[in-house]
Amino acid sequence: MTNLNFASAHQLAQMIREGQVSAVEVLDAYLAQIAKYNLKLNAICTLDEDNACTRAKFADEALARGENWGVLHGLPITIKDIFETEGLRTTAGYIPLKDYVPQQDATAVARLRAAGAVILGKTNMAELAGDYQSTNSLFPRANNPWNIEYTPGGSSGGSAAAVAAGLSALDLGNDFGGSVRQPAHFCGVYGLKPTDRRISTAGTIPEVPGMRICLRQMMTVGCFARSLEDIRLCFSLIAGADIRRPDVPPIPLDAPSNKSWQNLKIAWIDEWEEVPVSRETKTAMHNVVQKLSQTGVQIERWLPPNFNISNILNLYSRMAAYVNNYAQPKDKYNIRRSLELIFRTATQGDKQLRKLGDFSRFLPELLNPSLKGYFEALTERDRFTAQIDTALEPWDVWLVPVAATPAFTHRPAWSAVDIDGKLYPHAVANGAYTMPFNLSGHPAVVIPIGQTQNGLPMGMQIVGKRWREIEMLAIAQEIDTVINAFRNPSGY
């Protein structure tokens, strides 16, 4: 019989609909996996076992009556603890929210429920989504299922770990600077960051309930899965206009161009010159290019004209400073925590690399923001988006590393990361390859591409054109078939 814990989400949902297995049986398999492994992974921070069991039972009864709730009928899934879930505690790993129980689902959560999903629980994360690890003051740190001494990444580390270890069939995450893509890379699963504003962010923290809606740029909602088919399915369910967020445009999903494989034009780059990647990351990227070249596809090393990563990261940081100034709470605890993180990233790591990731230079704008400065940053962002739109026009997709390194061992928040003997500031090591596409708004999906010598997974971003996610995912599927690098972690 199929291993229920590691079957793909769409396969499981089909099996439930066709009566090959009951929703209760699938849920029981996941609950057993959670009971066995979650204590060491801390991937799931709030388990909703009683309600999930009731919902799964109702799902089976509905099928017996001939009712079909949707394509996810009876499928157990998890939700990152940053999304509001009706009647289920939502904390974002933030102490003042430790007892917060929302009265309404986030829009993306509501759409998955409407498709028949069973919400199994909430997954662990970085406090207020503010780190590339998944530690907070409420729950034990999340650990990487490939090696628990390593971080699963952040801020959606619990999401990626849960999907990788078979604790969940599918998970919902969000991405402001790599929070879906970096954990997917660290945990060896698939992760999607869609086009900016493709999916409603209604009901998403770190805008603590009651605060202004400030994260109107660069914040996206994405998903984690063990197959690209599942990514496409989840995306198609949660994308689209939302009355709660009028700035989400009613743009229909695209259709694949159906170009032949030989007529595709694929660009690739193995590193930004200013931010070298680890030797193993570079080798893995070159292996991908070699495999694809052998199939006859057109593939070429490429970087957009005037692509200056220092200027890009500066602009991203300015934008982040403006929106987070009003999105983040101003209590003493959070201010002190934020200043500690800024200090670490400004003082740790190679001096030259610190210039790329020194957020302290934006303290004046954080402390005294101006409308003029915000509009100037928005205008520069528009120019950058147009620049990348134009540059990508001749290409079907662009292959890019996810981070400068594979997963690293646990460390204090925002501490420097050693890459082949050189210390990289935390934000540079983890965000230099993801932040540019939050800034430009372009979609990207992460697929596994191999493993390090010590058995840690590595992923790669496949970047597509804005509003062309379905085409990007179709091409990613063909690339994934050639590379064939997805593996489940051993021992689960």
How many angstroms separate the Cα of 356 from the Cα of each of 385, 412, 427, 428?
A: 20, 20, 9, 7
Which two three-digit tokens encode residue 360?
């302290």
3-class DSSP assignment, residue 377 = helix
Structure confidence by residue, pLDDT tens digits, 370-418: 889 999 999 999 999 999 999 999 999 999 999 999 999 999 998 999 9
Per-residue confidence at 357, pLDDT binned at 50, 70, 90? Answer: low
Count of C-beta atoms within a 10 Å radius of residue 452: 18
3-class DSSP assignment, residue 258 = coil
The ranges of the chain annotated as CATH 3.90.1300.10 are 4-238, 261-483
Q: Assign 3-class secondary structure to 37-75.
A: HHHHHCCEEEECHHHHHHHHHHHHHHHHCCCCCCCCCCC
Strand partners, 245: 242
Residue 394: φ, ψ to 5°:
-75, -15
pTM: 0.97
CATH topology of domain 4-238: Amidase signature (AS) enzymes (3.90.1300)
3-class DSSP assignment, residue 423 = strand
Cα torsion through 389, 160, 8, 117, rounded to 10: -90
Strand partners, 30: none
Structure confidence by residue, pLDDT tens digits, 79-119: 999 999 999 999 999 999 999 999 999 999 999 999 999 99
CATH class of 261-483: alpha beta
Q: Indicate whether 1 pLDDT > 60.
A: no
Tell me which residues are annotated as active site.
80, 155, 179
How many angstroms separate the Cα of 299 from the Cα of each of 34, 304, 433, 470?
A: 42, 15, 20, 21
Q: Can you list the positions of beta strands (E) in 107-170?
A: 118-123
User: What is the DSSP secondary structure assignment for residue 277, as one 8-state letter?
Assistant: P
Residue 129: φ, ψ to 5°:
60, 30
3-class DSSP assignment, residue 122 = strand
Which two three-digit tokens encode residue 485?
């690098």
